[in-house]
Amino acid sequence: MTISRRSLLIGLPLLLAGCQSMPNQQAMYSDVTTEPFPLKKVPLDKIKPELRRQEVAYETAYSAGTVVVDTPGRRLYYVLGDGRAMRYGIGVGRNGYALAGNAYIGRKAEWPTWTPTPNMIRRDPEKNLKYAGGLPGGPNNPLGARAMYLYRGGNDTLFRLHGTNQPWSIGEAMSSGCVRMMNHDVIDLYARTSVGDKVVVLQA
């Protein structure tokens, strides 16, 4: 059986269209050398496809620019409008630590300093007391490459949307209450958001 040149030319765009999603994801999660602390590519074989960044259909009453944290679903949505959103996989806080309801982004930071809260120091002084003065940003910082600090009424809730140096934790409930994202994803979300943007945290 032979394939004519015309048939090949007609079928080639369809074949390429069906193969685009994987190379695009590989590019999104490739090595990043432009950061102060370069990022290695994400091992996608260890990240479930549904936890990788992608634009999806998302019908909601929230306006474009709203960040919706679906805690039970382990997903974060950045509302694009017109029934679409950018979806990210997240890691969430253990039971009893998570924020619920409305907040807003009070400030943003690149490669932020991490400082344990007083409660964290009281719960585990051996682990956290040495960082009471703050741990500078870097590859070993638990806040990762970016952080967005959530506020209510002008007050810091001590709840953050941030990166992580443990990409395998995405999809799990294990942090001390904050929402963690893969560093590649938090950089993308950081670029989309502004101080003052609304954040909605949904609980079960």
Answer whether residue 193 shows pLDDT above 90.
yes
List, in order of start, the domains of the chain with CATH numbers.
21-202 (2.40.440.10)
Count of C-beta atoms within a 10 Å radius of residue 141? 22
Among 8-12, 69-73, 177-181, the range scoring the smallest mean pLDDT is 8-12
**In the prediction, which pLDDT does 119 show?**
83
Determine which one of 52, 75, 146, 162 is catalytic: 162
> Cβ neighbours of residue 45 under 8 Å, at least 6 residues apart?
none
Annotation marks residue 162 as catalytic: yes
Mean pLDDT of 49-60: 97
Tell me what the mean pLDDT of segment 133-146 comes to.
93
Residue 19 appears among annotated catalytic residues: no
In the predicted model, what is the mean pLDDT of residues 141-159? 95
The pLDDT of 175-195, averaged and rounded, is 93
- Residues 72-93 have pLDDT tens digits of 999 999 999 999 999 999 999 8
Flag whether pLDDT at 175 surpasses 90.
no
Query: What is the DSSP annotation of 23-59?
Result: HHHHHHTS-B-SSSS-BPPP-GGGS-GGGS-EEEE--
Residue pair 87/53 in contact (Cβ under 8 Å)? The answer is yes
Q: What pLDDT shows up at residue 93?
A: 81
- Give the per-residue pLDDT at 97: 62
Mean pLDDT of the chain: 87
Task: State the distance between the two ends of the chain, measured CA to CA, in whole angstroms.
Answer: 57
pTM: predicted TM-score of the whole model, two decimal places: 0.85
pLDDT at 16: 38
Q: pLDDT class for 154, splitting at 50, 70, 90?
A: very high
pLDDT at 41: 94
pLDDT (tens digit, 9 = 90+) per residue, 20-43? 444 488 899 999 999 999 999 999
Which listed residue (178, 187, 199, 200) is catalytic?
178
Predicted confidence band of residue 117 (pLDDT cuts 50, 70, 90)? confident
Please say if the pLDDT value at position 94 is more than 80: no
Q: Are 186 and 145 in contact (CB under 8 A)?
A: yes
Q: Could you give the C-alpha distances from 127 to 35, 142, 202, in angstroms and in order?
A: 29, 13, 30
